[in-house]
Structure 1
Amino acid sequence: MEQTYVAERSISPANGAERWVVADTRTYDLHAEACAFLAGLRSKGRSPNTERVYAGRLALYLNYCAQHRIEWSCPGFMALSGLQQWLVTTPLPARSRRTPDTPRHRSQGTANAVMTAVTDFLRFGALHG
């Protein structure tokens, strides 16, 4: 899958604070809504690891939407169901240059964790317009 969005760690030049953002790889623009959601996690006192993991999961969701021409802000039930299936059936990229004997897949539990992040993000978007 083409990586249109990536999760990146950013460091504030003013005070050195670390934050996670979701950026567009083509334009280097930040995805405003995803970054607002991550800022909301920070303001709730969530762990920096939670912010890091959610940033990656949001980037994965946004990439899936871009690849399948789904409007990320208002996916239908079938689009979310398709995402769930895609998460467990699509092989993961190899960890090294060596070709693996059997492809790796996400577990159902990992797919559920991604879906939790996505639904939290969509709920945040619905609450804040």
Structure 2
Amino acid sequence: MPDSSCPCGSGRPFEDCCGPHLSGQTIPPTAEALMRSRYSAFAVGQADYLLATWHPATRPAKLPLEPGLRWLGLKILSTEAGRATDHEGWVTFVARSKFQGRAQRLQERSRFVREHGRWFYVEGELS
């Protein structure tokens, strides 16, 4: 995905935004950065990154991604805590997608925890 905007909606090039996180070169410094990188991982089909950033206490054994699902955009509605020095954070977002010609909208308040300097997705509450 070189020379294109990051799927997370930051307006930055993928290679300067979520790309380094997905390739393992860097780790997201905040809960929101992890949320954005996880959205990008869904958009580019990187299930391994999604599993690696999912907290072991709630992580599924495998994560099959739906073929043909196209992610259209991410909007962060709010962020509570989740800074580089926090141990917990919440990010509320709306993610839009399209599957088999039908538009879909997912709104979730996601909970993240930081352990050993790394953020992990724990769980989400749909709204």
- For the pair shown, the structure with the greater C-alpha radius of gyration is 1
Query: If each structure's helix is expressed as a fraction of its own residues, which one has the higher value?
Result: 1
After TM superposition, the score normalised by the length of structure 2 is 0.29
TM-score norm. by structure 1 comes to: 0.29
